[in-house]
Amino acid sequence: MHSNQKVDLKVNIIGPMGTGKTSLLNQYVHKWFRSDYRNTLGAHILSKTIQLESKTLKMQIWDTGGQERFRSLVSSFYKGSDGCLLVFDVTDMESFLGLETWRTDFMDKIQSPATNFPIIILGNKIDLEDRQVSQEFAVSWCQERKIPYFEVSAKDNINVDLAFETLAKEALVHYRECRECHLTESIKLTPLEDCHGSACC
């Protein structure tokens, strides 16, 4: 891959309703925060271009709705993803307990051939005082599954850039792995001895 080549990456930001996914995305892309968001229906897409490892990366970030009744709809937006941010609210234990379901559903839908697909867990709203999920508990959960974890605040812009750009690095690796896989598959030739009867030309 040439150093000046532009790479398009698709990443998803997913998780239960009300965890602050849209706030995180707007903080990262636009550098502003609003507290009066309406729930995302379907998907909302924003793009941001960054420089990473002497390459220009255009990140297409899909913010998907977290309402249960739209789960089957939004999961159709997962295919072709190069990375995923899975968000919970540190003041809402239920949102944390649902992480495994969200992660499993995502992995089932993306149909990625690459191993170690890049997923990062974000514990949002650390600026609030009524915390229900301790940092130690969240870190332990993620370590057991070998998933990176960041504590973030969309409101105070804590670790937001770091989380997105860490995912971008991992997504770039995934992109390269998939590209190499496709190139390898495209040059494989079918041995003559594997052909039988009229199936061969």
Kindly give the pairing relationship between strand 55-64 and strand 43-52.
antiparallel
Separation between Cα atoms, residue 135 and residue 20, nearest integer Å? 18
pTM (two decimals): 0.82
Helical H segments across the chain, by residue range: 21-30, 71-74, 93-97, 99-110, 135-144, 160-186
Domains in the chain: boundaries:
6-199
Separation between Cα atoms, residue 122 and residue 163, nearest integer Å? 8
Whole-number pLDDT of residue 38 = 60
Architecture (CATH level 2) of domain 6-199: 3-Layer(aba) Sandwich (3.40)
Separation between Cα atoms, residue 20 and residue 63, nearest integer Å? 10
Helix (H) or strand (E) holding 10: strand 6-14
Residues 141-183 have pLDDT tens digits of 999 999 999 999 999 999 999 999 999 999 998 888 877 765 5
* Arithmetic mean of pLDDT over the chain: 83
Do the Cβ atoms of 83 and 171 come closer than 8 Å?
Answer: yes
Residues 97-118 have pLDDT tens digits of 999 999 998 998 886 655 689 9
Do the Cβ atoms of 63 and 46 come closer than 8 Å?
Answer: yes
